[in-house]
């Protein structure tokens, strides 16, 4: 922890060996508290990065940042207080030192940017904190010594327990649709910052949720606007969008949040398309449904029909209408996410699959893209997460796209692949080569004998003619 722009996120990324925290020369870049596992030697621990506290920043959400940062400090076993050695001691550092003394935990004062000759580490001894360690988060100087000091004072390590199976759930959507409000409602605590300012969330924030003996890792992501607007917004938002896309790529299930008052548009379709390409399970959440009360009968069905039309390629994704503000139907979301995650891992036996193929192809004859007569001879499931199948045909190397969609829908309905993309690969079965071994040489020999007899007969004829 420390003032804005002293290098906390750079040090966080250095120790965790990740690029989880956004680093930019803008004071107040980090807002939410980020946590990540770290390891030094044989010790494992959790490192938490907080937003900048008590320093100059033009971030309109700075008060919320401070509130969340102080809340994170109360749960710490050790505090690493990062200061800017290049800038020297400032009043904000003294205010932070005053706030952390009552915590009653070890405090390490890390004087950052000491690779710069202008750094004045000796100024910070007046804060009365010990030890004072000189580091360079950017280049790694002094970080090993800092970690040695930290693990020497960590509480006794608990016996390692094998990690439970987690379902990674990425909450995605445009800015200000209620993603962070939904995460807080599911967690039943104000874990991530919520405001009416679009773009409040910048980093991807991971949080664990235990629900009915299930373990979910909820990942709150930054709102994703059109690429043109992101480019105009600057470096911080561009990096936020990249991190959000990475969160989708790693997710088991993506929850696409749509604002009920605005509906879905091209941006939602683009976000959902990336999730589908990544092979994630997908659940569509229509948030702020409490604002739709009093609408005429049949409105909900019409809304869903319009949403299906706008997101045609997601006809397999379940839709849940809820309110993160009131909590209405939010528990239903976890039930559906659990089902979709399980469906994504489902495996079908080869015998069961081929019985299914026999039935569906008899009901609806296969059609190739070249409109040739084609038969599906047999198939097998080759992967899960997402489910993937290879189908062998007699003449075609691909089927008509409408028939592939028919097969995917039938697979989903018959085997319960709810909310998950299905990958189909079509292969033409290669005929086994006939006549291997001695047959070809025998054929050659027979042909040679035939040629010899023919030539002999023709020679006899020529001799007879001469006579």
Q: Give the burial string for 46-85 (b: 16+ CB within 10 Å, else e).
A: ebbbbbbbbbebebebbebbbebbeebbeebeebbbbbbb
Class of domain 167-344: alpha beta
- Give yes or no for residue 48 having a pLDDT over 70: yes
- Asked which of 48-57, 201-210, 305-314, 417-426 is least confident by mean pLDDT, the reply is 48-57
> Which comes out higher in pLDDT, residue 224 or 330?
330
**pLDDT tens-digit map of 327-377:** 999 999 999 999 999 999 999 999 999 999 999 999 999 988 766 688 999
Q: Does the pTM exceed 0.95?
A: no
For the domain made up of 350-428, the CATH class stated in words is alpha beta
Q: Where in the chain is the domain with CATH 3.30.300.20?
A: 350-428
The CATH architecture annotation of domain 8-153 reads 3-Layer(aba) Sandwich (3.40)
> Please, are residues 414 and 387 in contact by the beta-carbon 8 Å criterion?
no
Question: CATH 3.40.50.300 residue ranges in the chain?
Answer: 8-153, 167-344
> What DSSP letter does each residue of 9-61 carry, written as one string?
HHHHHHHHTS--S---SSTT---S-EEEEEEETTEEEEEEE----SS----TT
For 315-328, the pLDDT digits (tens) are 999 999 999 999 99
Asked whether 267 and 274 are in contact (CB, 8 A), the reply is no
What pLDDT does residue 31 have?
54
Structure tokens at 321: 């209408």
Q: What is the pLDDT of residues 165-209, one digit of tens each?
A: 899 999 999 888 999 899 989 988 876 645 555 545 555 778 889
Question: Following DSSP, what letter does each residue of 425-448 receive, concatenated?
Answer: EEEEPPPPPSS-TTHHHHHHHHHH
């Amino acid at each position: 922890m420390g003032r804005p722009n002293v290098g906390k996120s750079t040090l966080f990324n250095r120790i965790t060996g990740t690029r989880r925290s956004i680093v930019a020369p803008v004071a107040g870049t980090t807002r939410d508290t980020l946590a990540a596992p770290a390891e030094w030697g044989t010790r494992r621990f959790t490192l938490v990065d907080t937003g900048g506290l008590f320093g100059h920043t033009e971030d309109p959400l700075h008060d919320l940042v401070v509130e969340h940062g102080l809340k994170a400090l109360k749960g710490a076993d050790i505090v690493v207080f990062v200061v800017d050695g290049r800038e020297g001691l400032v009043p904000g550092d003294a205010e932070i030192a005053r706030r952390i003394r009552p915590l009653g935990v070890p405090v390490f004062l890390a004087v950052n940017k000491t690779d710069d000759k202008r750094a004045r580490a000796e100024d910070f001894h007046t804060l009365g904190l010990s030890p004072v360690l000189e580091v360079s988060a950017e280049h790694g100087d002094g970080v090993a010594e800092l970690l040695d000091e930290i693990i020497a004072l960590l509480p006794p390590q608990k016996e390692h327990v094998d990690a439970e199976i987690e379902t990674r759930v990425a909450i995605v959507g445009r800015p200000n649709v209620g993603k962070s409000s939904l995460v807080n409602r599911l967690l039943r605590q104000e874990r991530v910052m919520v405001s009416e300012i679009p773009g409040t969330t910048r980093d991807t924030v991971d949080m664990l949720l235990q629900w009915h003996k299930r373990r979910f890792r909820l990942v709150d992501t930054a709102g994703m606007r059109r690429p043109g607007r992101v480019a105009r917004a600057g470096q911080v938002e561009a990096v936020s969008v990249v991190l959000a896309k990475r969160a989708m790529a790693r997710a088991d299930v993506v929850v696409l949040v749509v604002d009920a008052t605005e509906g879905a548009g091209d941006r939602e379709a683009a976000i959902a398309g990336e999730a589908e390409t990544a092979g994630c399970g997908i659940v569509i959440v229509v948030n702020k449904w409490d604002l739709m009360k009093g609408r005429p009968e049949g409105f909900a069905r019409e809304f869903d029909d319009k949403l299906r039309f706008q997101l045609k390629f997601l006809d397999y994704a379940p839709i849940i209408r809820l309110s993160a503000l009131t909590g209405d139907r939010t528990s239903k979301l976890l039930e559906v996410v659990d089902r979709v995650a399980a469906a994504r891992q489902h495996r079908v036996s080869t015998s069961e699959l081929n019985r299914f193929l026999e039935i569906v192809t008899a009901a609806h004859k296969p059609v190739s893209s070249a409109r040739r007569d084609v038969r599906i001879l047999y198939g097998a499931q080759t992967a899960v997460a997402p489910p993937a199948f290879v189908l062998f045909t007699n003449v075609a190397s691909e089927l008509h796209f409408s028939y592939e969609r028919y097969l995917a829908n039938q697979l989903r309905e018959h085997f319960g692949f709810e909310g998950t993309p299905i990958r189909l690969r079509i292969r033409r079965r290669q005929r086994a080569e006939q006549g291997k071994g001695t047959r070809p040489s025998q054929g050659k020999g027979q042909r040679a004998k035939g040629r010899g007899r023919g030539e002999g007969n023709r020679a006899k004829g020529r001799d007879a003619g001469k006579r």
